[in-house]
Amino acid sequence: QVCSINSRFAKVHILYIGSTPLKSTFRGTIRLLCGLGHGLFPPTQVEVYKSFRPGDIVLAKVISLGDAQSNYLLSTAENELGVVVARSEAGVQMVPISWCEMQCPRTHTKDFRKVPRVQPQFLQT
């Protein structure tokens, strides 16, 4: 779950490993160059706020293990990784409408997100 963002990275809490909930949360970081995938924009033209927002639930891959002083480094650079749950400002769960946008079904407001092509094993209601 995304906790905070800035221009270079998103700070997250790791809540699950696969489908197993963790007993305590671990901190992670998704860096700009590791997180965007799709390869359609040069890194200088993509901003973290167009991919993630605080509160988003993200499907990511651990690419570097942390230690006592640092976070785990995560990536969403594959097409199957990205924001799987996002809420609009109206508090409604947003619906993916493209690989880079989600829409609020109540207000029809669109927001940028790094939307994955979610694999069937991750679809749960």
- Contact between 112 and 97 (Cβ < 8 Å): no
Instruction: Record the pTM.
Output: 0.79
pLDDT of residue 25: 83
Query: Could you tell me the two tokens for 94?
Result: 């947003």
Angle subtended at Cα 72 by Cα 70 and Cα 75, rounded to the nearest 5 degrees? 140
| Banded model confidence at residue 119, pLDDT cuts 50, 70, 90 | low
Considering the domain delimited by 2-122, tell me its CATH architecture: Beta Barrel (2.40)
Residue 123 has pLDDT above 90, yes or no: no
pLDDT (tens digit per residue) in 24-63: 888 999 886 544 444 554 444 456 767 899 999 999 999 8
| Banded model confidence at residue 79, pLDDT cuts 50, 70, 90 | confident
